[in-house]
């Protein structure tokens, strides 16, 4: 059985309306997760190690203030479009749209005030919580009134995140959760002893602003071949990589399938990612620099966490050969990602 509790987490700053932010706690025998009504943010996620001891394995903050200041999207749902859109520009039905540019020359994770920075309306479910919001036509430069539902449900060791959306005008959409994981426990200094695998035969090379070049490159014979498990630190050294921040191209199937796995041999914790999405962005916290004070006073240096963000391919709205990122009126965007936690 899953228990669901709710409580007040804090109030938004007065200049942002001062509304109450709620925290929802979902608990099963093996997983405890806490989620905010601000940005649908996962603030804590505790799983057991092989000795049955719980540890919090996601980066974040102890209080609301941390989340209302600038931070690297810890635990948040990002959108309308996760990842980057080149120069913040795209055209739909012959009309050009210009978004806010917030990542070098590009638009990242929804713009200046994306889905991560707004309050959502919660509804408690027997085994989880559903958050709803209406993103109005023109918000952050995007077309159409977009109704969005993000639902978290917990069953045993499985945390499911379902994303649904409907629009009044054709709009690009790609939603993901941007949790930063360290299976040794948040606040651990690095992820080099983690063992990672990703079920992808190809990946997207990027230019120096992290926009895909358009090439879909085979992983075979490169440092991007993660089809067999690799120990991350040794792998980065072997291929002289500074880290990953790349989209891996998954099999095109609408069905649930396992796409990635992370394991921490010292504690026995593992996490499998299953999804219906066509891509997964593997990011190794390259831009973390130890400057943020996290939970329990922890600092988060470079490579102290990883993200496995299931999503559409970056800049797909400008790349006709990539999976379409467009949602049309009368259609429904509907994707689910499952995080499956174990210890052995």
CB burial of residue 14 (10 Å; 0-12, 13-18, 19+): exposed
**Is 127 within any annotated ligand binding site?**
no
The rounded percent of the chain whose pLDDT value lies above 70 is 100
How far is residue 247's CA from residue 212's CA, in Å, rounded to a whole number? 9
**Is 180 within any annotated ligand binding site?**
yes
Q: What is the tens place of the pLDDT at every residue in 191-241?
A: 999 999 999 999 999 999 999 999 999 999 999 999 999 999 999 999 999
- Does CATH number 2.40.50.140 belong to domain 3-343? no
**Is 83 within any annotated ligand binding site?**
yes
Which candidate, 142, 115, 64, places its Cα nearest to that of 317? Answer: 142
Q: What is the tens place of the pLDDT at every residue in 243-271?
A: 999 999 999 888 999 999 999 999 999 99
**Is 318 within any annotated ligand binding site?**
no
What pLDDT is stored for residue 312 in this prediction?
A: 97
**Is 316 within any annotated ligand binding site?**
no
* C-alpha distance from residue 214 to each of 61, 130, 272, 284, 313 (Å): 37, 36, 29, 22, 11
Domain borders along the chain are: 3-343
Of all helices (H) and strands (E), which one includes residue 327?
strand 326-327
Q: What is the dihedral of CA 312, 273, 152, 332, to 10 degrees?
A: 30
SS3 232: helix
What pLDDT is stored for residue 131 in this prediction?
A: 98
What pLDDT is stored for residue 10 in this prediction?
A: 97
Contact 90, 181 (CB under 8 A): no
User: What tokens appear for 211 in the block?
Assistant: 């926009």
How far is residue 13's CA from residue 306's CA, in Å, rounded to a whole number? 30
Of all helices (H) and strands (E), which one includes residue 67?
helix 64-68
**The model's pTM:** 0.97
Confidence check: pLDDT of 146 > 90: yes
Of all helices (H) and strands (E), which one includes residue 177?
strand 176-177
Catalytically active residues are: 178, 309
């Amino acid at each position: 059985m899953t228990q669901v509790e709710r409580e007040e987490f804090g109030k938004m700053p007065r200049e942002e309306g001062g509304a109450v932010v709620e925290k929802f706690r979902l608990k099963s025998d093996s997983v405890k997760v806490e989620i905010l009504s601000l940005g649908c943010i996962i603030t804590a996620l505790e799983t057991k190690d092989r000795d049955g001891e719980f540890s919090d394995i996601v980066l974040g903050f102890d209080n609301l203030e941390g989340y209302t200041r600038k931070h690297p999207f810890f635990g948040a749902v990002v959108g309308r479009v996760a990842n980057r859109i080149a120069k913040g520009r795209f055209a739909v039905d012959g009309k050009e749209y210009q978004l806010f540019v917030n990542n070098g020359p590009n638009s990242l994770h929804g713009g200046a005030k994306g889905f991560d920075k707004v309050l959502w309306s919660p509804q408690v479910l027997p085994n989880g919580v559903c958050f709803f919001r209406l993103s109005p036509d023109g918000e952050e430069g995007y077309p159409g009134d977009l109704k969005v539902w993000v639902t978290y449900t917990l069953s045993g060791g499985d945390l499911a995140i379902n994303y649904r959306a409907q629009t009044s005008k054709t709009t690009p959409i790609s939603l993901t959760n941007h949790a930063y994981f360290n299976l040794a426990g948040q606040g651990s200094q690095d992820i080099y002893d983690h063992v990672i695998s990703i079920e992808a035969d190809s990946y997207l090379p990027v230019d120096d602003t992290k926009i895909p070049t358009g090439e879909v490159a085979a992983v075979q014979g490169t440092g991007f071949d993660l089809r067999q498990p690799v120990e991350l630190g040794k792998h980065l050294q072997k291929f002289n990589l500074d880290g990953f921040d790349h989209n891996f191209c998954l099999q095109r199937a609408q069905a649930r399938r396992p796409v990635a796995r992370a394991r921490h041999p010292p504690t026995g914790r593992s996490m499998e990612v299953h999804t219906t999405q066509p891509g997964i962005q593997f990011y190794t916290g390259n831009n973390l620099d130890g400057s943020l004070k996290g939970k329990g006073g922890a600092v988060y240096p470079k490579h102290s966490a990883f993200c496995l963000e299931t999503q559409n391919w970056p800049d797909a709205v400008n790349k006709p050969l990539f999976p379409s990122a467009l949602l049309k009126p009368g259609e429904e965007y509907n994707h689910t990602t499952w995080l499956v936690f174990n210890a052995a």
